[in-house]
Amino acid sequence: MVVCEHESRTGKKLVSYVVPRELSMLSVTELRRYLKEKLPEYMIPSSFVVLEALPLMPNGKVDRNRLRLPDGTRPRLTKEFVSPRTEIEELIAQHGERF
């Protein structure tokens, strides 16, 4: 399920709520790679929230008011973080949001 959320700083962003069959099998990197093959860039969610189950209303529809917002923590990625190795990479890492 994908929902458009409003952020005060950046406006709108797409948030994907994912309920995997097996939690240990989920890799956000692989999910993004799959979506990039199927969708244009602007349709790929910027955040993924992994849930055990979608919150439902008594009539069986998804209760969007009970969907939690992304908490800002990094999802489990296939590749581990690699810190900047050169002076240029360090500058980009420090000022990345402006690029």
pLDDT top residue among 21 and 66: 66
Produce one character per residue of 48-69: b if its CB has 16 or more CB atoms within 10 Å, e if not: bbeeeeeeeeeeeeeeeeebee
pLDDT-above-70 percentage for the chain: 72
Radius of gyration over every alpha carbon of the chain, rounded to an integer in angstroms = 16
Q: What is the pLDDT of residues 73-98, one digit of tens each?
A: 555 555 666 788 888 888 887 775 55
What CATH code is carried by the domain that includes residue 45?
Answer: 3.30.300.30
Model pLDDT, residue 99: 46
CA distance to 8, 36, 98, per residue, from 16 (Å)? 19, 14, 25
Expressed as residue numbers, the domain containing 66 is 2-98
Q: What is the pLDDT of residues 27-60, one digit of tens each?
A: 778 888 889 999 998 888 888 888 888 999 999 9
**Count of structural domains, the chain:** 1
Model pLDDT, residue 57: 93
